[in-house]
Amino acid sequence: MPWKATNTHLRILHDAEKRQYGVIAAIAYNIEHILGLVKAASQARSPLIIQFFPWAIEVSDGLLVRTAADAAKRADVPISIHLDHAQSEDIIRRAVDLPFDSIMVDMSHYEKEENLRKTAELVALCNEKHIATEAEPGRIEGGEDGVMDTAGLEACMTTAEEVEEFVATGVDALAPVFGNVHGEYGPLGPRLDFKRFQEIKMRAAKRVRLALHGTNGFKPELLQQCVRAGVAKINVNKLVLDDYYDHLHSNTGKVPHTQLIEEGIEKVAQLTRKCMEICESAGKA
Ligand SMILES: [Zn+2]
């Protein structure tokens, strides 16, 4: 059987696309997050993607990734381990020796020709190790200021032509730019261009799955609108970690450390379960 048919990440995304729900792809920064996320998936009977920034590899020399992979293997629902925004060949070479099911080869900081060339090379490198890949056509803007002026934003949005060019690199998933930004949105909140997204979706034509980046502050209705539009992978960060941070702010130093940790895990699990219900992955595993 070809490896792509058995890769956990791809199986999770294919099922989400086929049955039209969104899989939560949550960033984990520590072991409480990993435990809370896995607990939520198991309780909600939901598939899950646990993802890391390259930071997690650096700070723990890969230990956090191996820990998550171990938790995924022991879980009673499908869970895959993904590396978000790997932006250098060095980090990707390091990551392919860790138990990742998928890696985001993000060369979007290069000009397009170089971006496409490097993406194709690094996708092949990941695939040699039977690791699936994601890439970013266009360029997702980030930063504290949130939504920028339309002229600046338009230049970075994903075009149908770019979808075609990136599909040709052999990636399995694309993170399109259609008004979504990293970090916080401005006072107007997120303003997504669903018409553009539909064109991207049509062009992707089930050859690649679509991932939504930049969901901080999204209301449940907007998440559901994205799922209905055909997003299979929903990247979340603060949407599942906000209550955990509030808990730390309110209780650090006031309760025993063991209690702080256990309640922190529960905070992550509760918000994640809520997200799984909103994106309708609950009950699908
Ligand atoms: Zn992102």
**CB within 8 A of 128, min separation 6: which ones?**
96
d(CA 104, CA 29): 17
Residue 21 alpha carbon to ligand 1 centre in Å: 20
- Residue with token string 């729900």: 21
Is 84 a residue of the active site? yes
Predicted confidence (pLDDT) per residue in 225-246, tens digit: 999 999 999 999 999 999 999 9
pLDDT at 148: 41
Exposed e or buried b for every residue in 42-77, given b needs 16+ CB within 10 A?
A: bebebbbbbbbbbebbeeeebebbebbbebbeebeb
What is the mean pLDDT of the segment spanning 45-71?
A: 97
Tens digits of per-residue pLDDT, 99-147?
Answer: 999 999 999 888 889 999 999 999 999 999 999 999 999 888 774 333 3
Report residues near ion ligand 1: CB below 5 Å. Answer: 213
Whole-number Å distance, alpha carbon 141 to ligand 1 midpoint, is 9
Interval between CA 258 and ligand 1 midpoint (Å): 32
Hey, how many other C-beta atoms are within 10 angstroms of the C-beta on 140?
21
Rounded distance from Cα 285 to ligand 1 centre (Å): 25
Question: Looking at 15, 61, 70, 84, which residue is catalytic?
Answer: 84
Query: Smallest Cα–Cα separation from 281: which of 213, 246, 233?
Result: 233
**Tens-place pLDDT, residues 149-161:** 444 555 589 999 9
Query: What distance in angstroms lies between residue 90's CA and the mean position of ligand 1's atoms?
Result: 19
